[in-house]
Amino acid sequence: MRTFEKTHPWIRFRINLAEVGPEFWLCLGEAASKCEHLARVPLRPATAEKLHQLYLAKGAAATTAIEGNTLSESEVLRAVEGRLEVPPSKEYQKQEVENIITACNQISRQLQEGGLPALNGELIRAYNSQVLQNLPPGEDVTPGEYRHHSVLVGNVYRGAPAEDCPYLVDRLCEWLAGDDFAAKEGLELVYAIIRSVLAHVYLAWIHPFGDGNGRTARLIEFHILLAAGMPSPAAHLLSNHYNETRPEYYRQLDAASKSGGDLLPFLRYAVRGLVDGLRAQLTFVWEQQWDIVWRNYIHELFQSKTSASDTRQRHLALDLGMRNDWVNIGEITELTPRLAKAYANKTPKTVQRDLNVLAAMSVISREPKRVRARRELIFAFLPLRKIVTGDKSQHKQPSGSN
Question: Can you give the residue ranges of every domain in the chain?
Answer: 4-285, 302-394
Question: What proportions of the chain, in percent to the nearest 5, are helix, strand and coil?
Answer: 65, 5, 35
Rg of the chain (C-alpha set): 26
Exposure string of 34-58, with b = 16+ CB inside 10 Å and e = fewer, is bbeebeeeebeeebeebbbebbbbb
d(CA 163, CA 161): 6
pLDDT of residue 224: 97
pLDDT of residue 388: 59
Same fold, 4-285 and 302-394: no
pLDDT of residue 361: 94
d(CA 85, CA 252): 36
Q: Biggest alpha carbon distance in the chain?
A: 89
pTM of the model: 0.85
pLDDT of residue 395: 42
pLDDT in tens, 184-238: 888 999 999 999 999 999 999 999 999 999 999 999 999 999 999 999 999 999 9
Task: Decide: 319 and 331 in contact? Cβ < 8 Å.
Answer: no
Alpha helices by DSSP H, listed for 41-90, are 45-65, 73-80
pLDDT of residue 385: 75
E runs forming strands in 114-160: 152-153, 157-158
- Indicate the fold that domain 4-285 takes in CATH: Fic-like fold (1.10.3290)
Task: Decide: 241 and 196 in contact? Cβ < 8 Å.
Answer: no
Contacts of 77 (CB under 8 A, 6+ apart): 53, 54, 57
295-302 own/partner pairs: CB under 8 Å, 24+ apart = 295/321, 297/377, 297/378, 298/363, 301/361, 301/363
Q: Report, as ranges of residue numbers, the positions in the chain whose pLDDT lies below 50.
A: 392-402
**Taking the domain 302-394, which CATH number applies?**
1.10.10.10
| Angle (nearest 5°) at CA 387 between 294 and 274 | 80
CA dist list (Å): 74 to 61, 71, 87, 237: 9, 8, 16, 17
d(CA 273, CA 276): 5
